[in-house]
Amino acid sequence: MPRAKTNGGAGLGKPIAFRLAEADRAAYFEKVAASGLSQSEFFRQAVLTNRTQIVARPKASTDRKRLLYVFNKTSNNLNQIAHRANSEHVRGKLSEATYAQLLDQLQMISRYLKATLGKVD
């Protein structure tokens, strides 16, 4: 027996596949089962007819983009400080002066990030 055509007689097109986390998959199947529809019918009725609510992420402001850039650059500096402290410790050359210098650099980074964070939306 031929399949009934939907969408005004246009027939069904290519399948769409996507992956879900196990918890999301279970929630989806639970909603499909509660609806009494097939997966395809549920998708067409719930999603395509806009019975779902989509919450869009707000676009990042220029300040937020700049802050993310600064944070990314800072992470590189933190890695360099940690590498220097570790390599000098392993060689037995980590002095009090070096330790104090590294700590000063970390405190400066911390103050800069805290000051910058307050100015972003």
Q: Nearest 5 degrees, angle CA 64-CA 68-CA 74?
A: 140
Distance of CA 65 to the CA centre of its chain: 15
In this structure, how many other beta carbons lie within 10 angstroms of the beta carbon of residue 11? Answer: 10
DSSP assignments along 19-42, one per residue: ---HHHHHHHHHHHHHHTS-HHHH
Ramachandran area for residue 9 (φ above 0: left; ψ -120 to 50: alpha; else beta):
left
Q: What pLDDT, on the 0 to 100 scale, is given for residue 65?
A: 85
Question: What percentage of the chain reaches a pLDDT higher than 90?
Answer: 28
- Minimal CA–CA distance to 121: which of 56, 68, 54? 68
**pLDDT tens digits, 61-81:** 888 888 888 888 888 899 999
CA distance linking residue 51 with residue 31, whole number of Å = 13
Question: What was the pLDDT predicted at 68?
Answer: 83
What is residue 60's predicted lDDT score, i.e. its pLDDT? 79
Q: pLDDT tens digits for 11-22?
A: 778 888 889 899
Predicted TM-score of the model (pTM): 0.45
**pLDDT confidence of 56, banded at 50, 70, 90?**
low
